[in-house]
Amino acid sequence: MVERMIEKKTSDRPGRILHRDISLAFFRIGMLGFGGGPSSIPLVHKEVVKKYEWMTEDEFGDTLALANTLPGPIATKMAGYIGYRVAGVWGCLNALFASVFPTVLLMIVFLGLLQTYKDIPWVQHMSASVVPVVAVMLGVLTWDFIKKSGETLGWLRAIMMLVVSGVLIEALNIHPAIVILGCILIVFLPLLKRRKKV
């Protein structure tokens, strides 16, 4: 029912205007979302639910919940999926391009400038002064993750997980990918076993 309503809503808009809307919506989200993908979620909500009404509140909530359980960058999962829902494969590509391309271009221009002049001593000192600031930003992000782990897993289990994964990765030099795959297996094995019984 909801599905049909949405299809009707989008078919009111001729293709070219719909694609212009998708471009503009995700361009604005990309250029205004400071602090990486997760901080741009409220902007996605504003454009997709409030402004263009491509999704209802509930559908947006479900999409976000699922995007959160899957790996990978959240902003492009949302953009690609919403673009796909609204206007098929081209809508998907359009939304991805609009949210990714402008900011990658900015990156290349800014870092290119820094690279060009990197042999001048004061430019060297300038870029070295950024390192401690990044350390602080990463430290804050680390604490966010630890706090959230403690809140959701309970502090005892969170600290155990922290210590175990720390030892595995740093002391035993196991690739982080293997540790994460191990977690995925631990979580899904009971689910698979239960399915077999049913």
Partner 1 sequence: MIYWHIFLAFFIPGILGYGGGPASIPLVEHEVVGKYEWMTTQEFSEVVAIGNSLPGPIATKMAGYIGYTEAGILGSIVALFASVAPSLILMIFMMAILMKYKDEPEVKNLTMLIRPVIAILLLFMTIQFAQESVEGIGIGYTLLLMAVSYILLEKIKLHPAIVIALALLFGALTG
Residues between 105 and 134 with contacts to partner 1, criterion CB under 8 A: 106-108, 110-111, 114, 121-134
d(CA 123, CA 166): 36
C-alpha distances (whole Å) from 48 to each of 43, 60, 80, 94, 157 are: 9, 8, 13, 15, 38
CB 102 to partner 1: min, Å: 7
2 binds partner 1 (CB under 8 A): no
AA identity, residue 118: K
53 binds partner 1 (CB under 8 A): no
AA identity, residue 26: F
Of the pair 5, 145, the CB lying nearest partner 1 is at 145
Of 5-13, 16-24, 47-55, 139-147, which segment contacts partner 1 by CB under 8 A? 139-147
CB 31 to partner 1: min, Å: 5
CB 46 to partner 1: min, Å: 15
DSSP code at position 172: S
142 binds partner 1 (CB under 8 A): yes
Residues between 19 and 38 with contacts to partner 1, criterion CB under 8 A: 30-38
58 close to 28: Cβ distance less than 8 angstroms: no
Of the pair 12, 69, the CB lying nearest partner 1 is at 69
Separation of CA 162 from chain center: 23
The pair phi, psi for residue 45, each rounded to 5°, is: -60, -45
